[in-house]
Copies of this chain bind each other. A is one copy, B any other.
């Protein structure tokens, strides 16, 4: 399984004008597809966030990758993720950076992309599904959640390349419920992830209440304002939505910093409210966990094989969280089918990952999918592990070429939601924390 070639494809994918506390999604999201080919002609693939920096980072690793046995590469590169990340918790955090643009996790992201491509290559070479290379599947069908966003009208892409606006505008509680209804009807999701931190907290709380009224307590809701709130506002929301966010849901990164999260937790517990706090902002690496445990700042860690060092590190994280009484869920970014399958295999092989995973997949369209055969099917909100080796998907070369062309044309080279916000919505917009 000696790797003889690596190809790195920067692609662009139409993305609707979704809102978050970081700002606005650009008309194109950027992704990177990695191909590693062995001397036997087998190719392993992975997908990660996009832009020039990650592609350059992968190119800089070429001499370490090409010539190495795929089944030994993850260990060879382990110093990339075993070093202690620099900076304080707050500097390392995702507070001030959109995912994929945080310099403090660059090494983990590069490692992840290579590890996943190696696992696909190993699986395809040996005729084994990736999850079975990792000890086997604890579940065959992986549940995902309906990822709701406040959004402006538009389906992503620009000019003649614009996509249909499948979900329409949603900037009110009613609009969000309509979006949820449409998405749940199409995919069968049984959990709701709601990206908050965009409108006044009163409106966002009303949105949660209307979601609960529409779908009932059998559809847990998680709410994620990406640090938009002060401790005081976070506590207020936690108290007001005590019934709506507990019991299978959670409150994700309501406020910035480990200290802020710990203060929210402490005040909520003091008020008898046990709604767990989840995080992929305050906690972004293994190095953050001791403080998170010590201060009880976070009760649920959001894993993500793209950011935490790949699939084996996701398994390590699962065991660590279980050992320390933490829950574990899974974070998502704008992605296509290769990432979806990596997330699916990670979830299949991580016993303690017992929440439905986040996924942006409903926000992408058939037109942009690079997986042969088109979009990955969901059944009752779940993706099933296919009876195929590796991740279970192959690349559609024509679609990949179109993604590359789109990248060349679109002009975006990194994710910058703040600039997009100023360009399309409000020329004076700045991300201020806390906003409320």
Contacts and interface: CB of A to CB of B under 8 A. Distances in A.
Interface of A: 69, 71-76, 78, 82, 126, 128, 131-133, 135-138, 286-287, 289-290, 293, 312-313, 315-316, 319-320, 322-325, 349, 351-352
A133 B290 contact: no
The 7 closest A-B pairs by CB, nearest first: A75-B136, A72-B136, A316-B319, A286-B323, A71-B132, A74-B135, A126-B126
B320 A323 contact: yes
A78 B138 contact: yes
Contacts of A128: 71, 126
30 contacts: A71-B128, A71-B132, A71-B133, A73-B136, A75-B135, A75-B137, A75-B349, A75-B351, A76-B136, A78-B351, A82-B351, A82-B352, A126-B126, A126-B128, A135-B312, A286-B319, A286-B322, A286-B323, A287-B323, A289-B324, A290-B293, A290-B323, A290-B325, A293-B293, A315-B316, A316-B316, A319-B319, A319-B320, A320-B320, A320-B323
Contacts of A76: 136
Contacts of A290: 293, 323-325
Contact of A136 (B74, B138, B319): B74
B72 A132 contact: yes
A352 B313 CA distance: 13
Contacts of A136: 69, 71-76
A74 B72 CA distance: 22
A113 to B, nearest CB: 15
A308 to B, nearest CB: 11
A122 B78 CA distance: 24
A232 to B, nearest CB: 30
A319 B72 CA distance: 18
A73 B138 CA distance: 10
Contact of A313 (B78, B312, B319): B319
Given A293-B290, A351-B82, A75 B138 contact: yes
A22 to B, nearest CB: 28
Contacts of A322: 82, 286
A322 B349 CA distance: 22
A49 to B, nearest CB: 23
Contacts of A320: 316, 319-320, 323
Contacts of A133: 71, 133
Q: Looking at A75, A135, A320, which has the most chain B CB atoms within 10 Å of its CB?
A: A135
Nearest to A128: B71
A101 to B, nearest CB: 24
A435 to B, nearest CB: 33
Contacts of A126: 126, 128
A100 B352 CA distance: 27
Nearest to A318: B316
A351 to B, nearest CB: 5
A324 to B, nearest CB: 5
